[in-house]
Every structure is written in C-alpha cells, then in structure tokens.
Structure 1
Amino acid sequence: MTDRRTLLLTAAAALAAPALARAQYTAEQFGGEAQPDFSRRNTSSFRMIDWRDHFDTLGVATIIADTRSRALHFWSGDGSDYRLYPTSVPMSEELTRRGYSEIVRKKVAPSWTPTASMRERDPDLPVTIEGGDPGNPLGTHAMYLDWPAYLIHGTHDTRKIGRRSSSGCIGLYNEKIAELYALTPIGAQVRLI
C-alpha cells in the first residue's frame, strides 16, 4: 500500500513540475523587474515587444495593438512608462486592419452609430446609442484613429476581452481604457499588427 501511495505522489509531482517551472518570474522580459511569465501561462500569449521594431522614435506616445496576442502595448513619449493591456480584437481577418495610424480625437462617453456594413450584417442594430448608455458597445471612453470607423475604446461587456469579438476596433475593459485615455495624447502613433 505504501509503495502504491509513494508511486502516485511521485507521479503527481512529476506532472506538476513543468507547470511550476512555467510559473516562474522572468526579469529579462520586463526590463530587469521580475514579473510573471505571461507568454507561457496565458492563452493569449502576452509578451513584451520592443517599440523599436515598429517605429524610429516614441513620438509623443506609442501604441502597438497586437491582434494575434490580443494585447495593447503603450509607451510614454519619454519611454519611462510602459503598460500592457488585454484587448478584444476584430472577429475576422476581413474586419482586421493592420498598419500605421495615429490618435486624432478622444471622447469621454462616446455615442455609437453602427456602420453600413454592421447594419447589413445585423439589420436589428439601433441607428445610434448615446454615450453613457450601458448598452453602448464603445464603453466609457474612445480614442479615434485616422482611419474612418476604427477606434480604441472601452466595453461594458467584459466577456469580449481576450476574444475575437469586434467589428474592427480594439476594445479594453472600461477601467483600462480610462487609464490609457488619460495617458495618451492626441497625435500618439499607433500600429496594429
């Protein structure tokens, strides 16, 4: 009986060892500061990326929205502030736009008007939803890109974060978009990858 119990405990420990090893904190990923290794533990594969792979300078601020890992990266203009946010991303490749843009306008309590293609997909959509309405898919804050109808915005539906659920926009939890909104000036450079 004791040998069987020992064998079972040894097998359980062996199975748990890889998971414990993956849960280690890595300093080199986060500029020398120990943080959880999200790239191995999180199904969205959060990983720190380098803005220099996408831009020559930080400009007034830099945002990179990674549609594959469903993460938004923010750097302040002087590089002293880096933040990583989970996001929702477009629900299909046809709705996904990639490339360079910038923040051209910001709005607290934005109203929402579905585009013609959204209304074509779902004719039951309302003509518009005013800001502040809990049914508004733009949440509490929106930052508009220089591409028509593309935004970085909040959402009241927290189930959408981490999923392919938008009609082209990048969505964040309302409390996270409020934080990002306060940090991001008009003219911030943006890249969707």
Structure 2
Amino acid sequence: MTLSRRSTLMLGLGATAGLMLPGIAHAQDVVRNNISSFRAQHWRDHFDTLGKATIVADTQSRALHYWNADGSDYRIFPTSVPISDDLTKRGYTSIVRKKVGPSWTPTASQMERYPDWKPIPPGPENPLGTHAMYLSWPAYIIHGTHDTRKIGRKSSDGCIGLYNEMIAQLFDLCPVGTQVRVI
C-alpha cells in the first residue's frame, strides 16, 4: 500500500478526531457553574407596557434583559445571582434610587451570620462595585462587582451583580422608575 501526503494527512486527522471523541462526549456531561445559558425573554411576557424602561432579571439563565421605553434598544447582560432560592426574591419591583460609588452595609441577616462584617466605603474592596441601582425591595440591588469570578455564578446574598463596565452602561440607560421583574 502506498501512502500519499494527502492520505497520510487524512489518516492523521481521523486518528486525532477519534482520540478527541471521548473527551468531547465527556465535556457535554459536565455541569458548568459559571456559564450563562441565556434564554430568550420578551418584555410582553412580563409587562403590559415598556414604561420608562424595562428589566427582566432571569436567575435561571443568569442574564439581565433590558429594553428602553420604545423597544428600539434591547440588551442582554451576564449576571451573578443569589446563592440559594431562600435568598432569591422574585416578582415585580422598580428602580427607586441610583448611586455612583456606593458604600456597602451588611444586612441584618448577614450580621446574624457574620457578626464581624463591617460597612465598606466605595472602592476596590466594596462588593457593590462602581454603580448601584436600588430596588423598591429593601436590601435588593442591581450592582457591579470588582470580583469578576462571580459573574455567571450563584454568588450573591440576593442581589443581581454585573461586571463594572456593564453596570455602568445599564446605569446610564435606566432612569429611576424603570420597571423590574426578577424571575
């Protein structure tokens, strides 16, 4: 049997593919804890009108969906979500206040669990990142984070976190009064 360069190449590629198949099959079975698998959302499934602007925070797919007042601007942002269902508040709310350079204060439930926690001023150690949009629910915030490992993971005590660059964009887009649904 005579082997040409082309047949040798094809044999090599076939062998390489054969060696890779078990790894590819295994990779499909792996549960990934930090990847968002964005699910399509449409604002009409959640609200009657777009109002000033609309946000749907999907805790299952770990994505925040944004629409402007006339629906011409639609964006999706990857997020961190609450660690457990116990910490996840779902339902309708709105943005009632916005702050650049927020300070962080532990909630009462956090103080029960971690009595040594203290308030943190704005800066790189602050878990709220560079921007915060406060919801009408007490202690629930859409905010940034300096810890980029948290995005795409269950890592918060109830808030929705975004990369600092993305919360800055969203902050500029959302007026106070933006309607929000957490699902």
Q: TM-score when scaled to structure 2?
A: 0.83
Aligned positions, number: 167
Higher-Rg member (1/2)? 2
- 1:84 alignment partner, SS class: strand
Deviation at 1:10, TM superposition (A): 3.8
Deviation of 1:129 (Å): 1.1
Percentage of matched positions with identical amino acids: 68
Q: Which residue of 2 aligns with 1:22?
A: none
Q: Read off the aligned partner of 2:120 and give its amino acid letter.
A: I
- State yes or no: 1:177 paired with 2:181: no
Q: Name the amino acid aligned to 2:131.
A: H
* Partner of residue 120, structure 2: 129
In 2 relative to 1, CA 113–43 (structure 1 residues): closer, same or farther, beyond 3 Å? closer
User: 1:13, CA displacement in angstroms?
Assistant: 5.6
Report the Cα offset of residue 110 of structure 1: 0.7
1:184 CA displacement = 0.2
Residues 155-183 of structure 1, C-alpha deviations (whole Å, 9 max, x = no match): 01111000000000000001100000000
Judging changes above 3 Å, is the alpha-carbon distance between structure 1 residues 43 and 113 closer, same or farther for their aligned structure 2 residues? closer
Report if aligned partners of 2:35, 2:153 keep a CA contact under 8 Å in 1.
Answer: no
Cα distance in structure 2, aligned partners of 1:143 and 1:94: 22
3-state SS, counterpart of residue 112 of structure 1: coil
Distance 1:57 1:169 in 2: 25
Deviation above 6 Å: which 4+ runs of structure 1? none
- Gap regions ≥5 residues in structure 1: 20-41
105, 111, 114: which one pairs with 1:119? 111
RMSD: 2.3
Q: Which of structures 1 and 2 has the larger relative contact order (alpha carbons within 8 angstroms, sep 6+)?
A: 2
Secondary structure, aligned partner of 1:64: strand
Match of 1:23 in 2: none
Alignment-derived partner of residue 86 in structure 1: 78
The aligned counterpart of 1:35 is none
Query: Residues of 2 paired with 1:154 and 1:43: CA distance?
Result: 18
Letter in 2 for 1:122: Y
- The reply to whether residue 102 of structure 1 matches residue 59 of structure 2 is no
Tell me how far 1:7 sits from its aligned partner: 5.5
